[in-house]
Amino acid sequence: MADLSRMAAIVGVDESDEIGKVPNKSRLQLGSEAAFNALDDAGLSLSDVDGLFVAGPSPYNMAEYLGITPRYTDGTNVGGSSFVIYVEHALAAISAGLIDVALIVHGEAGRSSRAYAGDDPNMPIAQYEHPYGLVIEPHPYALAATRYMHEFGQERTQNALGEIAVSTRKWAQLNPKSFIKDDMSMEDYHESRWISWPFHLFDCCLVTDGGGATVITSAAVAKNTKKKPVWVLGTAEGHDHGEGILQQADLCSTIARETGPRALEMAGLKHSDIDLAMIYDSFTYTVLITLESLGFCGRGEGPDFVANQRTAPGGDFPMNTNGGGLSYCHTGMYGMFLLLEATRQLRGECGDRQVAGAKTSLVNGTGGTLSSTGTIVLAAD
Amino acid sequence: MADLSRKAAIVGVDESNEIGKVPNKSRLQLGSEAAFNALDDAGLSLSDVDGLFVAGPSPYNMAEYLGITPRYTDGTNVGGSSFVIYVEHALAAISAGLIDVALIVHGEAGRSSRAYAGDDPNMPGAQYEDPYGLVIAPHGYALACSRYMHEFGEERTRDALAEIAVATRKWAQLNPKAFMQDDMTIQDYHESRWISWPFHLFDCCLVTDGGGATVVTSAAVAKNTRKKPVWILGSAEGHDHGDGILQQADLCSTIARETGPRALGMAGLTHDDIDLAMIYDSFTYTVLITLESLGFCGRGEGPEFVANQRTAPGGDFPMNTNGGGLSYCHTGMYGMFLLLEAARQLRGEGGDRQVKDAKTCLVNGTGGTLSSTGTLVLASD
Amino acid sequence: MADYNLPVPVPQPESDFYWEKAKAHELWFRKCNECDKVFFYPRDFCPGYHCKDVTWVQSSGKGTIYAFTIVHRSPPPFREVCPYVAAVVELEEGPRMPTNIVIDDPTPENVSIGMPVEVIFDDITDEISLPKFKPV
């Protein structure tokens, strides 16, 4: 295998001008704002972009909107993990010499969209899930969580989910861009209303508008960008079922059990080398089983791993320091925002929430219904 | 740039068990049949596949249906060119060492689908094209063609479109799998009914069901496959507007004007070196301006280039020898079928329609509304 | 209007102004203050050189047919209104836009590229008026 480590770097990241509730911006506007901002962060411009990576709108539609004619595009849509997976895809294209500057774009009027495209009635979930009212994400994720509770104990699971929700909120309180900053206690968590049992409201991510963009370049280009590069050390992509839950064989783990070890191995690092974990938190449960799947702890050991606010500010396992999809921003496809925070932390730009001395970050995106994962290992010089 | 020439090869190709009118097969069935068949053609099996490339269903949904867990997926959907573009994407992933065996799959119940997903009402086309009845492909393409007629002469354009339709039908008559095998004269062409003026019925591709699959592997794997490899010498991808026609600046050319020279440059070949041209023929007009854009002739010179059945069996410019999207098979996304025929011709498997001593082939896929192109240069040993 | 059953555009935030003006039977485009290009469709930046200094300008509504097709086959609901002319019109100010040419007898003898046209507005719902064009 070609040694891809450090062949490419993240050189620019940013959100759209506004995130949260942004009823006066379309998906394409939010994406284009973020693209302008991230390129500015890198000291590059749209005319430098030769690869465009975007999920949602087809790449050629996004390119048209932006007024560019990229020579390489990727529109793979495997849910919110897509943007993390694009890092590997961009790395492949850069390594092959096909492009030098990859722009990864996301924009979604997740909260304020004026219209919706229908689901494809020909896909299996239209026959085997939707008729039963398994129609929005909390439903199947909650369903998976019941199995975990059955196997590993209901009370300790619910306490673990509470720990994750509360610690993530604490980080959000340190991030000026967070959508929700109210105090949340364990009691608040347990008393919040049911969305889809066993999920409370505070098990579920936000529903916001927003855009984000990440610029990845070859090592050669990264030498001359505005800020210090964040190197891509390891990457991996995996899928073990489709977008629904109906073919998930093991409801208590994700394919991060493969992508985690593969990405770490490519990076030449082990779990204890990681300073910051950015873990897709569509739901508290997503985090719990992702930590186990990635190998930070064993199967069923997640509740002990996250106990006593270990992942909160001041804890010894800093995680989701932007406030996560749970409290900062979740447009429906959150993966992009993991990249933004990982980069900012590794650059030391995070102000009150800065993880002291953070040099390495493991980012794990999850898409579909616990279906696909992209794991990447990033590092500052 | 890394030298990607001959780093990967097409080692397996095939259609689904049936193509044409197949009301008893779903899209996923057609795709999976083709996948099994193409892998069989290569002497490989699904368990060898580590990269999955598919437009239409998301890769993880196709992977779930097939029962595989690929470590690399690409679901970029830029129209019917996507499958040609995937060859370059697979080449990048193979060259980067991320995968060894890429499966490119297509299945579409283009004629017999029982249900349809709605278009995204948030995209520009929904505001600026659909309300005016520019709703199916013939409309946008016919509109573009009117401009060519205006610039380069209506009568000679019409004669050129007829030459293409008739030549392609002659090839179809030599392909047992072709959907339409009736004789067609120039007069039949001109007398066929209007679909969207200036397009007659015979300017328009078929609407069929069907699946197709192509297996691309590293050079190392290709050494041990069943048939002789078809090498990827050159590849290029381009886009100059989105899926509609509303932002196409030049209605008389496509971005093949860039992807053609780039692919040939990478292959180190010139137009004269090409033994067979496989040109996406959603419409006769697509072929006319693609030949010009690729540089086989100059702008406005297409009518002379294709005159006197030059592209028909026995002519000195063999093109679309399978009978094309016009007379063999067109599911809505035809690009896959270009690859199948190119590989078969270069292997010498073309039977009655075999182009003698064909050693090199240029493949050009066009997607959207003359929006995206993928150009490949392929060669046998 | 209640029985209008062809697709009705859903305005997007960056095009609200465009549709508001259309409702008042005016045609407005975005213009880049840097390169002076008037462009369609509306965005908050110029798709040519990517500058963000853009404004709105009213179009004269006059232009010429740039390309067209006479649609004889179309899926429902457009099947009911065939044949019709779908065209790209080039406005005096420069931009080109898809539209319909409204004429009684849509034949190639009655429509041609270069033909002068001017905007008219079809009030398809209470909220949406669709800019179309007729020969001058």
Q: Is C17 on the interface with A (CB under 8 A)?
A: no
Q: Does C1 score more than 80 pLDDT?
A: no
Rounded mean pLDDT, B183-212: 98
* Residues of C whose CB is below 8 A from A26: 12-14
* Contact yes or no for A374/A364 (Cβ under 8 A): yes
CA distance A57 to A71: 17
What pLDDT is recorded for position A2? 61
* pTM score, whole prediction: 0.96
Q: Which of A17, A29, A52, A105 to mutate to test the interface with C (most CBs of C within 10 A)?
A: A29
CA distance A298 to A292: 5
Q: What are phi and psi of A373, to 5 degrees?
A: -135, 150
* Residues of C whose CB is below 8 A from A213: none
What pLDDT is recorded for position C76? 93
Q: Is A158 on the interface with B (CB under 8 A)?
A: no
Closest to A101 (Cα-Cα) out of A2, A5, A229: A229
Q: Inspect the interface and report whether the beta carbons of A23 and C46 lie closer than 8 Å.
A: no
CA distance A90 to A102: 6
Q: Which residue of C has its CA nearest to A23?
A: C13
Q: Inspect the interface and report whether the beta carbons of C10 and A115 lie closer than 8 Å.
A: yes
Pairing of strands B101-109, B51-54: parallel
Q: Is A232 on the interface with B (CB under 8 A)?
A: no
Q: Which amino acid is at A326?
A: L
- 3-class SS letters over chain B: CCCCCCCEEEEEEEECCCCECCCCCCHHHHHHHHHHHHHHHHCCCHHHCCEEEECCCCHHHHHHHHCCCCCEEECCCECECHHHHHHHHHHHHHHCCCCCEEEEEEEEECCCCCCCCCCCCCCHHHHHCHHHCCCCHHHHHHHHHHHHHHHHCHHHHHHHHHHHHHHHHHHHCCCCCCCCCCCCCHHHHHHCCEEEECEEHHHECCCCEEEEEEEEEEHHHHCCCCCCCEEEEEEEEEECCCCCCCCCCCCCCCCHHHHHHHHHHHHCCCHHHCCEEEECCCEHHHHHHHHHHHCCCCCCCHHHHCHHHCCCCCCCCCECCCCHHHHHCCCCCCHHHHHHHHHHHHHCCCHHHCCCCCCEEEEEEEECCCCEEEEEEEEEC
* Contact yes or no for B379/B359 (Cβ under 8 A): yes
A23, A67, A114: residue with CB nearest C50: A67
Closest to A235 (Cα-Cα) out of A369, A380, A344, A86: A86
C11, C12, C47: residue with CB nearest A67: C47
What pLDDT is recorded for position B1? 47
What pLDDT is recorded for position B118? 85
* Contact yes or no for A182/A266 (Cβ under 8 A): no
Q: Is C50 on the interface with B (CB under 8 A)?
A: no
The alpha-carbon gap from C52 to the nearest alpha carbon of chain B, in Å, equals 19
C14, C50, C52: residue with CB nearest A26: C14
Q: Does C46 score more than 90 pLDDT?
A: yes
CA distance A64 to B371: 10
Residues 66-85 of C with CB under 8 A from B: 66-75, 78, 81, 83-84
Q: Inspect the interface and report whether the beta carbons of A67 and C14 lie closer than 8 Å.
A: no
Q: Inspect the interface and report whether the beta carbons of B239 and A69 lie closer than 8 Å.
A: yes
User: pLDDT digit string (tens) for B57-112?
Assistant: 999 999 999 999 999 999 999 999 999 999 999 999 999 999 999 999 999 999 99
Q: Which residue of C has its CA nearest to A26?
A: C13
Tokens (6 digits) for B94 = 């193979």
- The CA radius of gyration of chain B, in Å to the nearest whole number, is 19
Q: Which residue of B has its CA nearest to A244?
A: B61
- pLDDT bracket for residue C2 (50, 70, 90): low
Q: Inspect the interface and report whether the beta carbons of B143 and C114 lie closer than 8 Å.
A: no
Q: Does B140 score more than 90 pLDDT?
A: yes
Q: Inspect the interface and report whether the beta carbons of B124 and A73 lie closer than 8 Å.
A: no
Rounded mean pLDDT, B277-302: 98
C12, C44, C48: residue with CB nearest A114: C12
What pLDDT is recorded for position C135? 98
Q: Inspect the interface and report whether the beta carbons of A29 and C48 lie closer than 8 Å.
A: no
Q: Which amino acid is at B282?
A: S
Q: Does B339 score more than 60 pLDDT?
A: yes
Mean pLDDT of chain B: 97
Q: Is C97 on the interface with B (CB under 8 A)?
A: yes
B127, B139, B247: residue with CB nearest C86: B139
C66, C75, C86: residue with CB nearest B132: C86
Location of structure tokens 């959603």: B282
Q: Inspect the interface and report whether the beta carbons of B195 and C98 lie closer than 8 Å.
A: no
A63, A237, A242: residue with CB nearest B61: A242
| Burial letters B93-117, b for 16+ CB under 10 A, else e | bbbbebbbbbbbbbbbbbbbbeeee
Q: Is C102 on the interface with B (CB under 8 A)?
A: no
Q: Is C14 on the interface with A (CB under 8 A)?
A: yes
Chain A to chain B, count of Cβ pairs less than 8 Å apart? 186
Q: Which residue of C has its CA nearest to A115?
A: C10
What pLDDT is recorded for position B200? 98
SS3 C21: helix
Local confidence pLDDT in tens for the 381 residues of chain A: 468 999 999 999 999 999 999 999 999 999 999 999 999 999 999 999 999 999 999 999 999 999 999 999 999 999 999 999 999 999 999 999 999 999 999 999 999 999 998 889 999 999 999 999 999 999 999 999 999 999 999 999 999 999 999 999 999 999 999 999 999 999 999 999 999 999 999 999 999 999 999 999 999 999 999 999 999 999 999 999 999 999 999 999 999 999 999 999 999 999 999 999 999 999 999 999 999 999 999 999 999 999 999 999 999 999 999 999 999 999 999 999 999 999 999 999 999 999 999 999 999 999 999 999 999 999 999
Rounded mean pLDDT, B241-249: 96
User: Which ipTM did the prediction report?
Assistant: 0.96
Q: Which of A98, A111, A116, A369 to mutate to test the interface with B (most CBs of B within 10 A)?
A: A98
Q: Which residue of A has its CA nearest to B125?
A: A61
Pairing of strands C84-91, C28-32: unpaired
Q: Inspect the interface and report whether the beta carbons of B131 and C6 lie closer than 8 Å.
A: yes
Closest to A40 (Cα-Cα) out of A227, A189, A289: A227
User: pLDDT digit string (tens) for B275-286?
Assistant: 999 999 999 999
What pLDDT is recorded for position A118? 86
User: Residues near A362 by Cβ (< 8 Å), separated by ≥ 6?
Assistant: A260, A263, A264, A274, A276, A277, A278, A294, A375, A376, A377, A378
* Residues of A whose CB is below 8 A from C52: 36
Chain B to chain C, count of Cβ pairs less than 8 Å apart? 110
* Contact yes or no for B306/B154 (Cβ under 8 A): no
